[in-house]
Amino acid sequence: MKRIVKNPEERRGELIASAQQFFYTKGYENTSVGDIVDAIGVAKGTFYYYFESKQAVLEAMVEEIVSQSIALLHKIVADQTLDAIRKWSQALTVVNNFKVEHKDQLLAFARVLQRPENVQLQHRLREESLKMVTPELAKIVYQGAEEGVFSTPYIDEAAEIALTIMESLSNTLTDILLHPENYTEPAAAAARKAAAAEYAIELVLGAPQGSLAIFSAGALDAWFNHIPHQYINTKGDVQ
Amino acid sequence: MKRIVKNPEERRGELIASAQQFFYTKGYENTSVGDIVDAIGVAKGTFYYYFESKQAVLEAMVEEIVSQSIALLHKIVADQTLDAIRKWSQALTVVNNFKVEHKDQLLAFARVLQRPENVQLQHRLREESLKMVTPELAKIVYQGAEEGVFSTPYIDEAAEIALTIMESLSNTLTDILLHPENYTEPAAAAARKAAAAEYAIELVLGAPQGSLAIFSAGALDAWFNHIPHQYINTKGDVQ
DNA sequence: GTCTGACTGACCGACGGTCAGTCAGTTTGT
DNA sequence: ACAAACTGACTGACCGTCGGTCAGTCAGAC
């Protein structure tokens, strides 16, 4: 086959992108190294020139994804003009808007991720984001404590626990979205779980009740009523 | 090879036991179906006569382990003579005593479980036990609410969140035990994390501060000071 | 003797990974 | 200006192993 030499960084990027494409659609276990290299027209050896193993390209991919998200989060956390509560809600809003914008794609991904052979991917994403997000969240909690809106003797741990609760909520909501048939009233179940998570997080952070919103009013509708986000106002009514 | 026919239930049990042995020592991915069948002297076909796939024997194993633990927990929850707080602490004590008794074995297992290729196992155990334990825990919380010692508008969700927090703590403690070199003072770090978890759970359940103990005083020493549990009294002093 | 279901093991295609060798592009010597 | 030497990106045939299949065998019940 014709040999095309490229800038190593570009090649590496191509390999990661190709791997990502397959991991997202076929899942990690069901993707072979052959799939990855065939799609971009290089030999298998090239793959192993850039990555030690199949697992290694997964790590690289996860690192890329998480570090991109962290950059977004960091911008909010570093913003000097926002108080802690605003930072909190803005961080969640940004994440949620992003998710709603890519709803279909993310749901497809979630469906793949859920399959037992893809637990690897799921676990690495979870572990890495927990590791990276916790410190940023802790900064917000620390600021909140200084501003007197949060109160806890265990700032770092509270941040971690809050994140764990949100992650657990996220898993539950994903399950409801993917298997609504298991719930008599999916939207109501989701709303209740979200409210419980919000309540628990406020307790853990020592924040006044109702001060932290996980979903801005009506945001859940975008997920459960199949209405594009931009058509939802803050009262949750359809305009 | 000589053909020995056994009671199907016994054969199935043998296969699960053999699989468990290998999964615990070599990990799921590194165990081949050949390993499992060779160890008990049957042909590979026999394995596939009893299980649809390698994944299936993992499921069967997880189900067995979890249902055994649940039976223990259920006995405590169903005990009519205990109040909610006592049930809570007894459940934790039983689990902790069991863990301490099998400390070395469990640590070896945790070491295997931690490896990236075994995330499957880890995830299935986590998922299944969360699914099974939450309802039992919710019964305790419900009882506590009736007794007036707990207070939350979201009983089921609070139980789930409490369990999530404990699981997260358990992960953290395992990490400290397996990699103490990453911590300046492993025992102190563990104690702080445990205290934070306890504090958070009390908040989430609406229990009075200090009413719930995750570790009875001194129990953590059994983990970090390498002293067999039976030599520890409730003050945490070595006798 | 007949039947059934527990059991066998040779076999298959696919996979992750290796490595000796090839070639494009750059540097060096004249 | 040209080629020889060099470097490192790239190739693809090859390997051992794995999960899984299936046509067939055999022990024990009836």
**pLDDT tens, position by position, A55-94:** 889 888 888 888 888 888 899 999 999 999 999 888 887 7
Whether residue B140 contacts residue B88, with contact meaning beta carbons closer than 8 Å, is answered with yes
Mind listing the pLDDT tens digit for each residue in B1-18? 667 888 888 899 999 999
Whether residue A85 contacts residue A211, with contact meaning beta carbons closer than 8 Å, is answered with yes
Grade residue A159 by pLDDT with cuts at 50, 70 and 90: very high
Q: Which of residues 3-42 of B touch strand D (CB under 7 A)?
A: 3, 5, 31-35
Going by C-alpha positions, the residue among A91, A93, A86, A90 that lies closest to residue A134 is A91
Decide if pLDDT at A238 tops 70: no
Q: Does any strand C atom come closer than 7 Å to the Cβ of A34?
A: yes
Question: What does the alpha-carbon distance between residue B209 and residue B207 come to, in Å, rounded to a whole number?
Answer: 6
Q: CB-based contact (8 Å) between B203 and chain A?
A: yes
Q: Does any strand D atom come closer than 7 Å to the Cβ of A45?
A: yes
- The rounded Cα B164 to chain-centroid distance in angstroms is 12
**DSSP tag of A238:** B
Whether residue A76 contacts residue A91, with contact meaning beta carbons closer than 8 Å, is answered with yes
DSSP H or E stretch at residue B148: none
Grade residue A116 by pLDDT with cuts at 50, 70 and 90: low
Could B195 and A119 be called an inter-chain contact, meaning their C-beta atoms sit closer than 8 Å? no
One-letter amino acid for residue B157 of the chain:
E
Q: Which residues of chain B have pLDDT under 50?
A: 227-239
Q: Which residues of B are less than 8 Å from A158 in CB distance?
A: 196, 200
Q: Which residues of B are less than 8 Å from A203 in CB distance?
A: 200, 203-204
Decide if pLDDT at A106 tops 80: no
Q: Which of residues 151-190 of B touch strand C (CB under 7 A)?
A: none
Higher pLDDT, A157 or B225: A157
* Average pLDDT over every residue of A131-148: 94
Question: What does the alpha-carbon distance between residue A147 and residue A145 come to, in Å, rounded to a whole number?
Answer: 5
Higher pLDDT, A155 or B236: A155
Give pTM, 2 decimals. Answer: 0.83
Going by C-alpha positions, the residue among B137, B148, B151 that lies closest to residue B70 is B137
Grade residue A117 by pLDDT with cuts at 50, 70 and 90: low
Q: How many CB atoms lie within 10 A of CB A129?
A: 18
Could A168 and B154 be called an inter-chain contact, meaning their C-beta atoms sit closer than 8 Å? no
Question: What does the alpha-carbon distance between residue B76 and residue B91 come to, in Å, rounded to a whole number?
Answer: 7
Q: Does any strand C atom come closer than 7 Å to the Cβ of B11?
A: yes
Q: CB-based contact (8 Å) between A82 and chain B?
A: no
Whether residue A197 contacts residue A227, with contact meaning beta carbons closer than 8 Å, is answered with no
Decide if pLDDT at A152 tops 90: yes
Q: Does any strand C atom come closer than 7 Å to the Cβ of B38?
A: no
Q: How many CB atoms lie within 10 A of CB A151?
A: 13
Q: Which residues of B are less than 8 Å from A60 in CB distance?
A: none
Min Cα–Cα distance to chain A from B72, Å: 26
In this prediction, residue A228 carries a pLDDT of 47
Average per-residue pLDDT for chain A: 84
Q: Which of residues 159-188 of B touch A (CB under 8 A)?
A: 160-161, 164-165, 168
Going by C-alpha positions, the residue among B5, B18, B97 that lies closest to residue B51 is B18
**Which nucleotide is closest to B47, CA to C1'?**
C7
Give the orientation angle of helix A103-114 with respect to helix A155-178, to 10 degrees.
Answer: 90
DSSP codes joined into one string, A76-134:
HHH-TT--HHHHHHHHHHHHHHHHHHTHHHHHHHHHHHHSGGGHHHHHHHHHHHHHHHH
Min Cα–Cα distance to chain B from A129, Å: 15
Instruction: Average the pLDDT over each of A41-50, A118-127, B26-35, B229-238 and give the range with the smallest value.
Output: B229-238
Going by C-alpha positions, the residue among B74, B72, B79, B115 that lies closest to residue B94 is B72
Beta bridge partners of B216: none
Higher pLDDT, A205 or A117: A205
Decide: helix, strand or coil at residue B238. strand
Decide if pLDDT at A209 tops 60: yes
In this prediction, residue A1 carries a pLDDT of 64
In this prediction, residue B144 carries a pLDDT of 96
Beta bridge partners of B232: B238
Whether residue B47 contacts residue B33, with contact meaning beta carbons closer than 8 Å, is answered with yes
Grade residue A10 by pLDDT with cuts at 50, 70 and 90: confident
Instruction: Average the pLDDT over each of A136-140, A214-218, B44-48 and give the range with the smallest value.
Output: A214-218
Q: Pseudo-torsion of CA B171, A165, A111, A130, nearest 10°?
A: -50
Whether residue B109 contacts residue B122, with contact meaning beta carbons closer than 8 Å, is answered with no
Strand D contact nucleotides, protein CB < 7 Å: 8-14, 17-23, 26-28
Higher pLDDT, B98 or A37: A37
